[in-house]
Amino acid sequence: GAGVSQSPSNKVTEKGKDVELRCDPISGHTALYWYRQSLGQGLEFLIYFQGNSAPDKSGLPSDRFSAERTGGSVSTLTIQRTQQEDSAVYLCASSLGGGRENQPQHFGDGTRLSIL
């Protein structure tokens, strides 16, 4: 199992609840990215980690969204007080390098989040 792993694969929750999405990147990949993909839309960048720090969190849509990464490995994206517009597929990707390096990104299959 050398790929990027995301859990859960599907999450259905009620509006106003908090959700936590998990990403296990490929071992040794220092860069980790979170994206959001809505139906018929492109990938919307949310946040980028290099190691445990997040030099670019400019894509987080509101202060209800936060993310952390520990041990240079697993990352968690948390959405507080979920709203219906948060419904989307949340994708995680990792790569060997970050910043301006031209390393391809390796994606997980995403978490499909549905807010009722």
Partner 1 sequence: SQKIEQNSEALNIQEGKTATLTCNYTNYSPAYLQWYRQDPGRGPVFLLLIRENEKEKRKERLKVTFDTTLKQSLFHITASQPADSATYLCALRDDKIIFGKGTRLHILP
Q: Does 40 bind partner 1 (CB under 8 A)?
A: yes
> Shortest gap between Cβ of 44 and partner 1 (angstroms)?
8
The region of 13-21, 66-74, 77-85, 96-104 touching partner 1 under the rule CB under 8 A is 96-104
Binding mask 62-91 for partner 1 (x = CB under 8 A): -----------------------------x
Task: Tell me the pairing of strands 111-115 and 10-13.
Answer: parallel
DSSP secondary structure of 13-62? E-TT--EEEEEE--TT--EEEEEEE-TT--EEEEEEEETTEEEE-TT--S
